[in-house]
Structures are given as C-alpha cells and as structure tokens.
C-alpha cells in the first residue's frame, strides 16, 4: 500500500487572472487530502472515504479518464481517501483530491508525469467533473507548494517561483459560512466576458492588454490591474514589505468587488470585520460568490484576530464562520 498527500491552497492575490494567462500568488496550505492505494489485478477503481463521502466518484472517474488519454495503462486500485480540507470552501478540496488520486493512479500503473503535466491533467479532470472552465492555479499550487513560501505563478509559461513569507506573518483564512453560490454559471460568464474583450482587441489573452486598452471595460480592467498588483505583491514579498503586500491585497478586494463583481455582502462584511479585528490586507480569495476571505496577521496574535473577526461577523450577519490560521506547506507527493 502506498500513500500520497496533496495540499489545499489559499490565494494571497491574483484572482480571475489565471485563465487570462496572467499571474497569481497562492500558497499551498497545511490542510491536505491523503490517498492510500493498493493496485488491483483488474481495472476497477474503488474509492472509499474514511470520513464521509464528498462526491469523490465523479472526480475519480474524471482523473482516470484524463490519465488514460495521456497513456496510463488501465490498472485498477483500491483507494482510501481522507481530507482535512473543508469541502466546497474555496480552499481547493477538489484539486487536492484530484492531485492525490492522480499520484496514486500513476503509481499503481507505474506511469510517470512531470509535475506541470500532472497539474494540467488534474485541471482537465476538474473541468470534466464539474463543467466549470477553471484555470490552472489550484492544481499547480497543490503540486508546487513550498513550506514557508507563497508561489508566484506565471499562468502562461507555468513557471513557479517560491517566495518565502517573512517570519512572524501568519495567513488567516475565514470561511464566510456561505457556500459559493452560482459559481458554475457566473464563473463561466466572467471567463467568457474576458475572452470576448481579448478577442475584440485582437489579443491572445487579457495578459497582453494595457490599462489604456481596457479603461472602459470593468471586467477586463480588473484583470489587467490585478496582474499588476500580483507582480507588485511578489516584489513586496521579496523585500519583506508586509505593509505593501497588505495594501495591494486590499486593493485587490475592491477591484473584485467593484470591477469584477464577484463579492457578496457577507464577504464584504467579513473583510471589514477582519480589518476592525487588526488583520491586514483582507480580501476575498478564489472565485468569489461566497467561500473564504484571506488576510495577514502577526503569527503570535493571529488566532485571536481571527476569533475577534468571526465574533464581529457573526453578530452582524447571523452567519457562523469558520477560522483557520494557515502555514504555507510543501506540494503534493508520496508519504513515507
Ligand atoms: C477558481 C478556479 C481558479 C481561479 C479562481 C479565481 O478557484 O478554480 O482556476 O480561476 O477561481 O481566481
């Protein structure tokens, strides 16, 4: 029996940029999915959840079919899955499931894929399983994570540059308590709107647009300004300038709320509550329409900041949030 782990991720900055060939700055986190697998002599793939099923069947089928298209032999396996990543929270529980299952499926069939190829295969599996035309961020972050570091990813070249998070800084994640609503159709609609502007401008992707070209197009304006913020944020992180990073994160939330229109009243309330509680740079993270907010706080006070923000938010909205203090974790791989 062999075991494989794959982490979830939280995105510090750079949302709705990955499918525009742009830049993102996520970190793999210390919440993860673990798959224990044994090869079978037939071609059956059996997946058992140790703690409640989370709809893994369609993901396993999708991962297996994509790997078969890439040349993996049809060798079956019995797999036990367990995960500490809350399902449907926007912390990439499905990407971690896909990546850990893919590693196990490759292992039992002695099939090898380079890390980037594995991430691309899992992205395709996610699209197939959910019908959502997602980008590469989640799967590539899960594969490429580095302990203690955020990852600057160029979603065109798929190059990954780990950039250490300064000592004493913690990543606070608060789940708004509301599932991501309308994500499927609204996500696809946003992606199509971006591609339409790029096509009208005669560009391959909005990555190549200038701020002047998109000045009157709020959706595209978000993408272009967000790409700039990600590169500035990576610079700030390299210099250890946490204040600058935080102010770019706050500007990112405003742009996602006002130009890209993927925030909700609850996410905005949570961002404000985190600010009042003493966190810096609070912003919605991931697709939006619900899910999580990310912020920065001093490591020694992070749990208290998160609790204060959660109490405040609960009092104002009546919704019960969940808090996490995360550390950047290593990417997916075999467990000893
Ligand atoms: C979802 C997708 C990602 C990315 C984000 C928004 O999480 O899976 O590819 O597009 O939304 O940044």
Task: Please give the average per-residue pLDDT across 251-262, as a whole number.
Answer: 98
Residue nearest to atom 8 of ligand 1 (CA): 134
CA distance 328 to 131: 29
pLDDT score at 7: 98
- The ligand 1 atom at the shortest distance from the C-alpha of residue 24 is 12
**Three-state helix/strand/coil letters over the chain:** CEEEEEEEEEEEECCCCHHHCCEEEEEEEEEEEEEEEEECCCCCEEEEECCCCCCHHHHHHHHHHHHHHCCCCCCCEEEEEEECCCCCCCCCHHHHHHHHHHHHHHHHCCCCCCHHHHHHHHHHHHHHHHCCCCCCHHHHHHHHCECCEEEEEECCCCEEEEEECCCCEEEEEEECCCCCCCHHHHHHHHHHHHHHHHHHCCCCCHHHCCCHHHCCCHHHHHHHHHHHHHHHHHHHHHCCCHHHHHHHHHHHHHHHHHCCCCCCHHHHHHHHHHHHHCCEEEEEECCCCCCEEEEEEEHHHHHHHHHHHHHHHHHHHCCCCEEEEECECCCCEEEC
Give me the count of residues in the chain.
336
Question: Which of 54-58, 155-159, 162-166, 234-238 has the lowest average pLDDT?
Answer: 54-58
Ranges of each domain in the chain: 2-162, 165-326
Specify whether the CB–CB gap between 30 and 50 falls below 8 A.
no
Residue 156 Cα, ligand 1 centroid: separation in angstroms? 15
Residue 110 Cα, ligand 1 centroid: separation in angstroms? 31
6 CB within 6 A, ligand 1: no
Residue 135 Cα, ligand 1 centroid: separation in angstroms? 6
* pLDDT band for position 56 (cuts 50, 70, 90): confident
15 CB within 6 A, ligand 1: yes
- The ligand 1 atom at the shortest distance from the C-alpha of residue 19 is 10
pLDDT at 320 over 60: yes
pLDDT score at 1: 86
Q: What are phi and psi of 210, to 5 degrees?
A: -95, 160
287 CB within 6 A, ligand 1: yes
Topology annotation, domain 2-162: Ribosomal Protein S5; domain 2 (3.30.230)
Residue nearest to atom 2 of ligand 1 (CA): 134
- The ligand 1 atom at the shortest distance from the C-alpha of residue 17 is 12
Task: Please give the average per-residue pLDDT across 50-72, as a whole number.
Answer: 88
Nearest alpha-carbon partner for 33 in 88, 102, 85, 107: 85
Q: Which CATH superfamily is domain 165-326 in?
A: GHMP kinase, C-terminal domain (3.30.70.890)
pLDDT per residue as tens digits for the range 78-98:
999 999 998 877 899 999 999
pLDDT at 111 over 90: yes
Residue 260 Cα, ligand 1 centroid: separation in angstroms? 13
Average pLDDT, the chain: 95
pLDDT score at 328: 97
Residue 203 Cα, ligand 1 centroid: separation in angstroms? 21
Percent of the chain with pLDDT over 90: 93
CA distance 239 to 100: 34
Nearest alpha-carbon partner for 248 in 190, 305, 217, 294: 294
Residue 172 Cα, ligand 1 centroid: separation in angstroms? 19
pLDDT score at 90: 84
Which CA distances in Å does 53 have to 26, 32, 59, 80, 312? 27, 16, 12, 11, 33
CA distance 336 to 330: 14
**Planar angle of CA 8, 24, 93, nearest 5 degrees:** 15
19 CB within 6 A, ligand 1: yes
Which CA distances in Å does 129 have to 75, 106, 160? 21, 19, 26
pLDDT at 52 over 80: no
Nearest alpha-carbon partner for 144 in 13, 25, 15: 25
- For residue 265, what are the contacts with CB-CB under 8 A and spacing of at least 6? 317
Residue nearest to atom 9 of ligand 1 (CA): 135
138 CB within 6 A, ligand 1: yes
286 CB within 6 A, ligand 1: yes
pLDDT score at 182: 54
* pLDDT band for position 286 (cuts 50, 70, 90): very high
22 CB within 6 A, ligand 1: no
- The ligand 1 atom at the shortest distance from the C-alpha of residue 90 is 7
pLDDT score at 223: 99
pLDDT per residue as tens digits for the range 177-230:
987 765 568 999 999 999 999 999 999 999 999 999 999 999 999 999 999 999
Residue 20 Cα, ligand 1 centroid: separation in angstroms? 11
pLDDT score at 178: 86
Task: Please give the average per-residue pLDDT across 263-291, as a whole number.
Answer: 96
Q: Which residues pair with 193 in a beta bridge?
A: none
Residue among 286, 290, 293 to mutate when testing ligand 1 (max atoms within 8 A of CB): 286
pLDDT at 100 over 70: yes
């Amino acid at each position: 029996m062999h075991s494989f782990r794959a982490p979830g991720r939280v995105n510090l900055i750079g949302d709705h940029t990955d499918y525009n060939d742009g830049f993102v700055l996520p970190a793999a986190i210390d919440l993860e999915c673990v798959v224990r697998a044994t090869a079978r002599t037939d071609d059956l793939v059996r997946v058992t959840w140790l703690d409640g099923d989370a709809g893994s069947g369609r993901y396993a089928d999708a991962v297996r079919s994509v790997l078969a298209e890439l040349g993996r032999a049809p060798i079956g396996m019995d797999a036990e899955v367990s995960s500490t990543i809350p399902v449907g929270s926007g912390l990439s529980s499905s990407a971690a499931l896909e990546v850990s299952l893919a590693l196990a499926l490759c292992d039992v069939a002695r099939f090898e894929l380079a890390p980037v190829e594995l991430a691309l295969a899992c992205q395709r599996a996610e699209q197939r399983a959910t019908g959502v035309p997602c980008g590469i961020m989640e799967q590539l972050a899960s594969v490429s994570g580095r302990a203690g570091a955020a990852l600057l990813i160029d979603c065109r070249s798929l190059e990954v540059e780990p950039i250490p998070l300064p000592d004493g800084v913690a990543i606070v994640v608060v789940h708004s308590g509301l599932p991501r609503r309308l994500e499927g159709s609204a996500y696809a609609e946003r992606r199509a709107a971006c591609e339409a502007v790029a096509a009208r401008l005669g560009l391959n992707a909005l990555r190549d647009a200038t701020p002047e070209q998109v000045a009157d197009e709020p959706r595209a304006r978000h993408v272009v300004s967000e790409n700039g913020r990600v590169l500035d944020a990576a610079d700030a992180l390299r210099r250890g300038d946490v204040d600058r990073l935080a102010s770019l994160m706050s500007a990112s939330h405003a742009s996602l709320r006002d130009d890209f229109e993927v925030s909700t009243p609850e996410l905005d309330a949570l961002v404000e509550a985190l600010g009042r509680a003493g966190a810096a740079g609070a912003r919605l993270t991931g697709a939006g329409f619900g899910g999580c907010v990310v912020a920065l706080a001093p490591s020694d006070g992070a749990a208290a900041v998160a609790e204060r923000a959660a109490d405040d938010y609960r009092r104002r909205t009546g919704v019960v949030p969940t808090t996490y203090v995360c550390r950047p974790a290593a990417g997916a791989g075999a467990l000893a």
